Amino acid sequence: MSAAEPASKAASDAIGHLIHGKSAMGGSRHAPVYNPANGQIQRQVALADGTTVDAAIAAAAAAFPGWRDAPPLKRARIMFRFKELLEANEDRIVAILTAEHGKVLEDARGELQRGIENVEYACGAPELLKGEHSKNVGQAIDSWSEMQPLGVVAGITPFNFPAMVPLWMYPIALVCGNTFVLKPSERDPSAALLVAELLHEAGLPDGVLNVVNGDKEAVDVLLQDQRVQAVSFVGSTPVAEHIYRTGTAHGKRVQALGGAKNHAVVMPDADVGNAASALMGAAYGSCGERCMAISVVVAVGDDTGDALVSDLQQRLQRLAVGPGTEPGSEMGPLITREHEHKVRAYVDLGVAEGAELVVDGRGLKVPGHEQGFFLGACLFDRVTADMRLYNEEIFGPVLCVVRAGNLQEAMDLVDAHEYGNGTCIFTRDGEAARYFSDNIKAGMVGINVPLPVPVAYHSFGGWKRSLFGDLYAYGPDAVRFYTRRKTITQRWPSGDVRENSRFAFPSNS
Distance CA 107, CA 316 (A): 18
Concatenated DSSP letters of 232-272 = EEES-HHHHHHHHHHHHHTT-EEEEE----EEEEE-TTS-H
Residues 6+ apart with CB under 8 A from 250: 223, 224, 226
Distance CA 15, CA 4 (A): 14
Q: Please, what sign has the CA dihedral across residues 99, 103, 107, 110?
A: negative
Distance CA 437, CA 445 (A): 6
Residues 6+ apart with CB under 8 A from 327: none
3-state secondary structure 472-502: CECHHHHHHHCEEEEEEEEECCCCCCCCCCC
H or E element that contains 381 = strand 378-381
Q: What is the dihedral of CA 392, 393, 398, 404, to 10 degrees?
A: 60
Q: Which of 470, 474, 428 is nearest to 244 (CA)?
A: 470
Q: Is 123 a catalytic residue?
A: no
Concatenated DSSP letters of 148-213 = EE-SEEEEE--SS-TTHHHHHHHHHHHHTT-EEEEE--TTS-HHHHHHHHHHHHTTPPTTSEEE--
Distance CA 507, CA 509 (A): 6
Concatenated DSSP letters of 335-357 = S-HHHHHHHHHHHHHHHHHT-EE
Residues 6+ apart with CB under 8 A from 44: 5, 10, 11, 14, 15, 30, 31, 32, 33
Q: Which of 342, 332, 358 is nearest to 276 (CA)?
A: 358
Concatenated DSSP letters of 398-440 = EEEEEEESSHHHHHHHHHHSSEESEEEEE-S-HHHHHHHHHH-
In this structure, the strands spanning 483-491 and 467-468 are: unpaired
Q: Which of 20, 22, 12, 16 is nearest to 46 (CA)?
A: 16
Distance CA 328, CA 99 (A): 16
Say if residues 147 and 129 touch (Cβ distance below 8 Å): yes
Residues 6+ apart with CB under 8 A from 88: none
Distance CA 39, CA 378 (A): 21
Active-site residue, selected from the candidate residues 123, 287, 291, 400: 291
Which residues are annotated as catalytic?
Answer: 291
